Amino acid sequence: MLATRVKNPSLAAGLITTAVGITLIVPSVWVTHSLFNAAIQGIDAIVPTSLQDVWQGLLAQNPRAAHAVDSIQRVLRISDAFTRTIEGLSAHAQYFIGSSIRAIFHAVLTLFVLFFLLRDGAGFVLALKKLLPLSPPDTEIVLKRIDDTIHAAFFGMVAVAILQGFLGALLLWWLQLPGVVVWGTIMALLALVPYLGAFVVWIPVACFLILQDEWYKALITVIWGLFVIGLADNLLYPYLVGKKLHYHSLVVFFFLLGGVMLFGAAGVVLGPVLLATTERILWVWQREPLAANTPTYVV
């Protein structure tokens, strides 16, 4: 629709790419900010009450114990241990920074490719049609199947992410924790991020409940996270894609698993695309007589 109103293809592609980039960046910044604030609040809530205050109170009540602890600290060279801890944290920080830089690079590369696909996509499709060793009607059939598969995979991912966010919010509501809607939304957004998911939220919740001696609720959180929220992704996504494309869910699951093993996070889409492409090409070849595809040689 935008391409019909904006006559310049480069400008239209640039506007769409910018809109996609903003759509990805704003939720990412919001999720990161929310998780960071929650982590700080959790540390402030746990450390003073559970560790620091209790420890200081015990030392104040037992002067001899305080003197013994001071002697042990000098013997064990706590400062050296602290230095080693800081060095270890620095190493992890460097790894985190490196991973963040790679993630930013991949995001920029994705937007770069998206721009050229939007601007020159019609030319790429035309060139692909010329390269495929199929008749024009059969080529249209194969390309239509690929297009349907990409749409089914995308909407399947969105549907599963929304369901996981709802299931996570339902868990938090049952636990009577604050910010149910906010954290449910965050879990839904995290479910769309490769290598992340709703577990980024519910695992810290389970740890917090353990520190609060709420073992029963922590166990319920882990079970719900693993077998309800987690299986929603592993079972429902292949079912939705298979139903849309009229494939068996088990077939979609194995192609999805193989795609992730070969291509990483992109395999979530590339796996079903390979399945649909292979199936449709084999279907086209089965329609042609074997003799028609066999070359003849004149001696």
Tell me the per-residue pLDDT of 215-249, one tens digit each, with 9 for 90 and over: 888 899 999 998 899 888 778 888 888 888 888 88
> How is the chain split into domains, by residue range?
1-120, 132-292
Nearest Cα residue to 167 out of 223, 224, 214: 224
pLDDT for residue 169: 92
How far is Cα 152 from Cα 255, in angstroms, rounded to an integer? 15
> Is the full-model pTM beyond 0.75?
no
In 184-295 the beta strands, taken as DSSP E runs, fall at none
Q: Which of 26-35, 130-139, 161-170, 239-248 has the lowest mean pLDDT?
A: 26-35
pLDDT for residue 193: 73
**CA gyration radius, the chain:** 27
Q: What is the pLDDT of residues 178-223, one digit of tens each?
A: 878 888 888 888 888 766 788 888 888 888 888 788 888 889 999 9
C-beta neighbour count of 123 within 10 angstroms: 10
Percent of the chain with pLDDT over 90: 6
Name the pLDDT band for 120 (thresholds 50, 70, 90): confident
Phi, psi of 272 (to 5 degrees): -60, -35
Q: Letter for the amino acid at 234?
A: N
pLDDT for residue 117: 79
How far is Cα 129 from Cα 280, in angstroms, rounded to an integer? 15
Contact 69, 59 (CB under 8 A): yes
Name the pLDDT band for 164 (thresholds 50, 70, 90): very high
How far is Cα 259 from Cα 272, in angstroms, rounded to an integer? 8
pLDDT for residue 122: 81
pLDDT for residue 221: 92
C-beta neighbour count of 238 within 10 angstroms: 24
Residue 121, pLDDT above cutoff 90: no
How far is residue 80 CA from its own chain's centroid? 39
Q: Which of 4-18, 35-49, 185-199 has the lowest mean pLDDT?
A: 35-49
Contact 26, 20 (CB under 8 A): no
pLDDT for residue 84: 59
Percent of the chain with pLDDT over 70: 65
